[in-house]
Amino acid sequence: MLYAGFMSAALPPFPRPQENVGPLELLQLGTGIDEDEPCLRADAARNRARLLEAAERLVAEHGAAALTMEAVATAACVGKGTVFRRFGDRTGLLAALLDHSERKFQAALLSGPPPLGPGAPPVERLRAFGCALLDRSVDKLELLLAGEPSAERRHAFPPRRFLHQHVTLLLREAVPDADCELLAHTLMAYLDAPLIHHLTEQRGLPTERVRAGWLDLVARVTRTESPARGSESPATEPTA
Protein backbone atom coordinates (compact mmCIF):
# COMPACT_ATOMS: atom_id res chain seq x y z
CA MET A 1 0.00 0.00 0.00
CA LEU A 2 1.38 3.37 -1.01
CA TYR A 3 1.05 6.62 0.79
CA ALA A 4 -0.50 9.70 -0.68
CA GLY A 5 0.45 12.10 2.06
CA PHE A 6 1.89 12.33 5.50
CA MET A 7 -0.53 10.31 7.54
CA SER A 8 -1.44 6.80 6.55
CA ALA A 9 -3.68 6.55 3.55
CA ALA A 10 -6.20 4.65 5.63
CA LEU A 11 -8.77 6.75 7.41
CA PRO A 12 -7.50 8.14 10.70
CA PRO A 13 -8.67 6.45 13.88
CA PHE A 14 -10.49 9.53 15.10
CA PRO A 15 -11.66 12.65 13.34
CA ARG A 16 -8.02 13.74 13.31
CA PRO A 17 -5.12 13.08 15.62
CA GLN A 18 -4.50 16.81 15.83
CA GLU A 19 -0.80 16.39 16.44
CA ASN A 20 0.15 16.20 12.77
CA VAL A 21 1.03 18.97 10.41
CA GLY A 22 -1.21 20.36 7.76
CA PRO A 23 -0.65 19.88 4.04
CA LEU A 24 2.83 18.85 3.09
CA GLU A 25 3.80 22.06 1.39
CA LEU A 26 3.34 23.98 4.59
CA LEU A 27 6.32 22.53 6.33
CA GLN A 28 8.57 23.70 3.56
CA LEU A 29 8.76 27.00 5.30
CA GLY A 30 7.09 26.29 8.60
CA THR A 31 8.64 24.70 11.63
CA GLY A 32 7.68 21.17 10.71
CA ILE A 33 5.52 20.95 13.79
CA ASP A 34 2.23 22.72 13.99
CA GLU A 35 1.51 25.29 16.59
CA ASP A 36 0.28 24.25 20.01
CA GLU A 37 -3.33 23.17 19.88
CA PRO A 38 -4.77 26.17 17.99
CA CYS A 39 -8.24 25.57 19.42
CA LEU A 40 -8.51 22.89 22.04
CA ARG A 41 -11.36 22.48 24.40
CA ALA A 42 -10.53 23.39 27.96
CA ASP A 43 -10.81 19.87 29.31
CA ALA A 44 -8.88 18.47 26.39
CA ALA A 45 -6.03 20.88 26.97
CA ARG A 46 -5.95 19.98 30.61
CA ASN A 47 -5.85 16.29 29.80
CA ARG A 48 -3.12 16.85 27.28
CA ALA A 49 -0.97 18.57 29.84
CA ARG A 50 -1.66 15.86 32.38
CA LEU A 51 -0.69 13.20 29.86
CA LEU A 52 2.56 14.85 28.92
CA GLU A 53 3.46 15.34 32.52
CA ALA A 54 2.65 11.74 33.35
CA ALA A 55 4.59 10.49 30.37
CA GLU A 56 7.60 12.54 31.30
CA ARG A 57 7.51 11.17 34.83
CA LEU A 58 7.17 7.59 33.66
CA VAL A 59 10.04 7.98 31.23
CA ALA A 60 12.19 9.38 33.99
CA GLU A 61 11.24 6.49 36.23
CA HIS A 62 11.32 3.49 33.93
CA GLY A 63 12.97 4.63 30.75
CA ALA A 64 11.45 5.53 27.41
CA ALA A 65 11.58 1.98 26.07
CA ALA A 66 9.31 0.77 28.85
CA LEU A 67 6.72 3.46 28.30
CA THR A 68 3.30 2.03 27.56
CA MET A 69 0.31 4.00 26.42
CA GLU A 70 -1.89 2.35 28.98
CA ALA A 71 0.44 3.27 31.80
CA VAL A 72 0.45 6.88 30.69
CA ALA A 73 -3.31 6.91 30.56
CA THR A 74 -3.61 5.40 34.00
CA ALA A 75 -0.99 7.68 35.49
CA ALA A 76 -2.82 10.67 34.09
CA CYS A 77 -6.19 9.39 35.35
CA VAL A 78 -7.51 9.34 31.83
CA GLY A 79 -8.87 6.72 29.47
CA LYS A 80 -6.64 4.94 27.03
CA GLY A 81 -8.63 6.22 24.10
CA THR A 82 -7.86 9.77 25.12
CA VAL A 83 -4.14 9.21 24.77
CA PHE A 84 -4.55 7.89 21.27
CA ARG A 85 -6.97 10.59 20.26
CA ARG A 86 -4.53 13.22 21.41
CA PHE A 87 -1.29 11.83 20.07
CA GLY A 88 -2.29 9.40 17.37
CA ASP A 89 0.06 6.66 18.39
CA ARG A 90 3.05 5.88 20.53
CA THR A 91 5.37 7.58 18.10
CA GLY A 92 3.26 10.70 18.29
CA LEU A 93 3.42 10.75 22.06
CA LEU A 94 7.17 10.40 22.07
CA ALA A 95 7.41 13.10 19.42
CA ALA A 96 5.38 15.38 21.63
CA LEU A 97 7.82 14.72 24.44
CA LEU A 98 10.60 15.84 22.13
CA ASP A 99 8.71 18.81 20.82
CA HIS A 100 10.27 21.40 23.08
CA SER A 101 13.81 20.48 22.21
CA GLU A 102 12.81 20.21 18.56
CA ARG A 103 11.47 23.71 18.40
CA LYS A 104 14.43 25.17 20.16
CA PHE A 105 16.72 23.53 17.68
CA GLN A 106 14.71 24.66 14.71
CA ALA A 107 14.62 28.18 16.04
CA ALA A 108 18.37 28.17 16.43
CA LEU A 109 18.74 27.11 12.81
CA LEU A 110 16.33 29.65 11.45
CA SER A 111 17.15 32.70 13.47
CA GLY A 112 19.82 31.91 16.02
CA PRO A 113 23.33 33.30 16.01
CA PRO A 114 25.83 32.02 13.46
CA PRO A 115 27.37 29.66 12.66
CA LEU A 116 24.25 27.61 13.45
CA GLY A 117 21.89 30.32 12.37
CA PRO A 118 22.12 32.46 9.25
CA GLY A 119 25.13 34.65 8.70
CA ALA A 120 27.97 32.19 8.37
CA PRO A 121 29.15 30.57 5.14
CA PRO A 122 27.19 27.43 4.28
CA VAL A 123 29.93 24.89 4.88
CA GLU A 124 30.57 26.33 8.28
CA ARG A 125 26.88 26.20 9.03
CA LEU A 126 26.79 22.59 7.97
CA ARG A 127 29.60 21.76 10.32
CA ALA A 128 27.86 23.51 13.17
CA PHE A 129 24.59 21.86 12.29
CA GLY A 130 26.02 18.38 12.58
CA CYS A 131 27.78 19.05 15.83
CA ALA A 132 24.73 20.61 17.37
CA LEU A 133 22.42 17.86 16.20
CA LEU A 134 24.88 15.29 17.45
CA ASP A 135 24.84 16.86 20.87
CA ARG A 136 21.11 17.04 20.92
CA SER A 137 20.74 13.44 19.77
CA VAL A 138 23.11 12.13 22.38
CA ASP A 139 21.17 14.07 24.93
CA LYS A 140 17.77 12.75 23.89
CA LEU A 141 18.95 9.42 22.59
CA GLU A 142 16.55 7.33 24.58
CA LEU A 143 13.47 9.21 23.47
CA LEU A 144 14.67 9.33 19.89
CA LEU A 145 15.21 5.60 19.75
CA ALA A 146 11.97 4.73 21.46
CA GLY A 147 10.03 7.13 19.29
CA GLU A 148 11.44 6.17 15.93
CA PRO A 149 8.72 5.95 13.31
CA SER A 150 8.18 2.81 11.31
CA ALA A 151 10.34 2.28 8.24
CA GLU A 152 7.71 3.55 5.82
CA ARG A 153 7.08 6.80 7.62
CA ARG A 154 10.56 7.53 8.85
CA HIS A 155 11.66 9.87 6.10
CA ALA A 156 8.29 11.52 5.80
CA PHE A 157 8.15 12.63 9.41
CA PRO A 158 7.95 16.41 9.69
CA PRO A 159 10.89 17.03 12.01
CA ARG A 160 13.17 14.98 9.81
CA ARG A 161 11.87 16.64 6.68
CA PHE A 162 12.54 20.00 8.16
CA LEU A 163 16.13 19.16 8.99
CA HIS A 164 16.61 17.54 5.62
CA GLN A 165 15.31 20.62 3.92
CA HIS A 166 17.65 22.79 5.91
CA VAL A 167 20.64 20.70 4.93
CA THR A 168 19.54 20.70 1.32
CA LEU A 169 19.42 24.46 1.26
CA LEU A 170 22.85 24.80 2.78
CA LEU A 171 24.23 22.30 0.33
CA ARG A 172 22.79 24.14 -2.60
CA GLU A 173 24.78 27.14 -1.54
CA ALA A 174 27.90 25.12 -0.95
CA VAL A 175 27.82 22.80 -3.94
CA PRO A 176 25.36 24.26 -6.44
CA ASP A 177 25.97 21.71 -9.16
CA ALA A 178 25.33 18.59 -7.10
CA ASP A 179 22.17 16.63 -6.44
CA CYS A 180 21.77 18.31 -3.09
CA GLU A 181 18.60 16.57 -2.10
CA LEU A 182 20.28 13.20 -2.24
CA LEU A 183 23.45 14.46 -0.68
CA ALA A 184 21.40 15.87 2.17
CA HIS A 185 19.96 12.43 2.82
CA THR A 186 23.47 11.12 3.10
CA LEU A 187 24.46 13.75 5.60
CA MET A 188 21.29 13.30 7.61
CA ALA A 189 21.82 9.58 7.71
CA TYR A 190 25.11 10.06 9.47
CA LEU A 191 23.27 11.83 12.26
CA ASP A 192 20.55 9.27 12.68
CA ALA A 193 19.80 8.34 16.24
CA PRO A 194 20.11 4.57 15.78
CA LEU A 195 23.51 4.97 14.18
CA ILE A 196 24.72 7.28 16.91
CA HIS A 197 23.43 4.83 19.46
CA HIS A 198 25.24 1.99 17.75
CA LEU A 199 28.49 3.88 17.51
CA THR A 200 28.58 5.36 20.96
CA GLU A 201 26.85 2.74 23.08
CA GLN A 202 27.40 -0.51 21.24
CA ARG A 203 30.78 0.08 19.66
CA GLY A 204 31.93 2.44 22.34
CA LEU A 205 33.36 5.14 20.09
CA PRO A 206 34.03 8.41 21.86
CA THR A 207 31.72 11.16 20.70
CA GLU A 208 34.79 13.13 19.74
CA ARG A 209 35.54 10.65 17.03
CA VAL A 210 31.98 10.73 15.78
CA ARG A 211 32.13 14.50 15.65
CA ALA A 212 35.42 14.38 13.75
CA GLY A 213 33.76 11.96 11.36
CA TRP A 214 31.06 14.53 10.71
CA LEU A 215 33.53 17.28 9.96
CA ASP A 216 35.43 15.00 7.62
CA LEU A 217 32.24 13.90 5.93
CA VAL A 218 31.14 17.47 5.32
CA ALA A 219 34.55 18.23 3.90
CA ARG A 220 34.44 15.31 1.51
CA VAL A 221 30.87 15.85 0.42
CA THR A 222 31.41 19.53 -0.24
CA ARG A 223 34.88 18.83 -1.64
CA THR A 224 36.45 21.33 0.72
CA GLU A 225 39.25 20.89 3.19
CA SER A 226 38.72 19.83 6.77
CA PRO A 227 39.35 22.61 9.22
CA ALA A 228 42.31 21.82 11.48
CA ARG A 229 43.55 18.82 9.60
CA GLY A 230 47.03 17.43 9.41
CA SER A 231 48.01 18.47 12.89
CA GLU A 232 46.41 15.52 14.65
CA SER A 233 46.32 11.90 13.60
CA PRO A 234 43.39 11.03 11.35
CA ALA A 235 41.30 9.06 13.83
CA THR A 236 43.03 5.99 15.12
CA GLU A 237 40.40 3.37 14.33
CA PRO A 238 40.78 0.70 17.00
CA THR A 239 38.56 -1.48 14.88
CA ALA A 240 38.65 -4.82 16.74
Residue 72 exposed, middle or buried by CB count within 10 Å (0-12, 13-18, 19+): buried
Which of these, 17, 140, 177, 169, lies nearest to 82 by C-alpha position?
17
Tell me how far, at minimum, the Cβ of 239 lies from its own copies, in Å.
Answer: 6
Long-range pairs, 182-188, Cβ under 8 A, ≥24: 183/221, 185/155, 186/221, 187/126, 187/130, 187/217, 187/218, 187/221, 188/160, 188/163, 188/164
| Binding residue for its own copies, selected from 37, 53, 139, 201, defined by CB under 8 A | 201
Question: Least distance to DNA from the beta carbon of 30, Å?
Answer: 21
CB atoms within 10 A of CB 220: 10
- Could you say which residues in the range 10-39 bind DNA, by CB under 7 A? 10, 13-15, 18
Under rule CB under 8 A, residue 95 binds its own copies: no
> What is the chain's alpha carbon radius of gyration, rounded to the nearest angstrom?
20
Tell me which of its own copies, DNA, none is bound by residue 42, counting a contact when its beta carbon lies within the kind-specific cut-off of 5 to 8 angstroms.
DNA
**Between residues 71 and 215, which has the closer beta carbon with respect to DNA?**
71
Instruction: Show the binding pattern over residues 38-67: x = contacts its own copies (CB under 8 A), - = does not.
Output: -------------------------x-x--
Helices (H), the chain: 42-62, 69-75, 80-87, 90-111, 122-139, 141-146, 158-174, 180-190, 193-197, 207-222
The full DSSP string for 165-211 is HHHHHHHHHH-TTS-HHHHHHHHHHHT-HHHHHIIIIIS---HHHHH
Q: Which of 91, 106, 137, 168 binds DNA (CB under 7 A)?
A: 91
Binding mask 47-86 for DNA (x = CB under 7 A): x-------------------xxxxx-----xxxxxx-xxx
Beta carbon nearer to DNA, 134 or 144: 144
- Regarding 26 and contact with its own copies (CB under 8 A), the answer is no
Does 186 interact with its own copies (rule: CB under 8 A)? yes
Catalog residues that contact its own copies under the rule CB under 8 A: 1-3, 25, 28, 63, 65, 145, 148, 151-152, 154-156, 168, 177-183, 185-186, 189-190, 192-195, 197-199, 201-202, 209-210, 212-213, 216-217, 220-221, 223, 234-235, 237, 239-240
Q: Which residues bind DNA (CB under 7 A)?
A: 10, 13-15, 18, 40-44, 46-47, 67-71, 77-82, 84-86, 89-91
